[in-house]
Copies of this chain bind each other. A is one copy, B any other.
Amino acid sequence: MRPSGRAPDEMRPISIETGFTKHAEGSCLIGFGDTRVLVTASVEERLPPWLKGKGEGWVTAEYSMLPRATHTRGQREAAKGKQSGRTQEIQRLIGRSLRAVVDLKKLGERQITVDCDVIQADGGTRTASISGAWVALRLAVNGLMAQGLIKEDPISAKVAAISCGIHQGTPVLDLDYIEDSNADADANFVLIEGGNIAEAQATAEGAPYDEEALLRLLRLARMGCAQIFEAQGKAVG
């Protein structure tokens, strides 16, 4: 029995509110249950120095938790003067996930930076970030295409992510904070619409797991991502 009363393969409600801020070229507030992340995609007509003159663009991401997104207040990274290893790990993952579905040549010599700021955390902030990041990116690219700045769509498919794990011996989908805190294994899958995998990460927290468990988690992830793909589709119209 899950603490939330959900069935093992039951997602929390997904909500995606696009256009949440007025300045960004693409934005949304994405919710997986009580986890809420504000995502903006910013288009800049400039490139990092190491990419200049190669005839292609760049997509990157930054991630942050507001200090009181969590149960107890965490120290602000800007005040500490550095980003934690966890923050850097997550923002690198978000960037890689987006680039898995973007043709950087078609994007042209410009950079899109996707900022994922967690407003409220209840487990799954990195997977909500990736799923929302695709929406913000899609909206920003739509704008570039509408303006005629991009000819061919550089985005080849949807990408979404979901966590799953083994909780008290049972593989479960979309862990909330309580489950996440005492799961035996904790996995994050980044899937591409159509069935392929962009990234799989599965970590034993309590007891190590076997190949069978890995496959069962992957199947749960497929079920979850199917629902996210649908919500993403509705959100971007």
Contacts and interface: CB of A to CB of B under 8 A. Distances in A.
Interface string A157-196: 0000000000000000000000000000000000010011
Interface in A200-220: 200-204, 207-211, 214-215, 218
A198 interface: yes
Given A23-B68, A79-B62, A196 B208 contact: yes
Interface stretch (A2-10, A48-56, A84-92, A229-237): A84-92
B76 A62 contact: yes
Given A34-B22, A42-B68, A199-B203, A192 B211 contact: no
A131 interface: no
Interface in A106-135: 113, 115, 117, 119-121
B81 A119 contact: no
B214 A218 contact: yes
A211 B208 CA distance: 20
A21 B62 contact: no
Given A44-B73, A70-B23, A208 B215 contact: no
19 contacts: A27-B68, A40-B66, A66-B117, A67-B113, A78-B78, A78-B80, A78-B83, A81-B82, A82-B82, A84-B88, A85-B89, A85-B92, A196-B204, A196-B210, A197-B202, A197-B208, A197-B214, A201-B201, A214-B218
User: Which 4 A-B pairs give the minimum distances between C-beta atoms?
Assistant: A85-B88, A196-B208, A77-B78, A42-B73
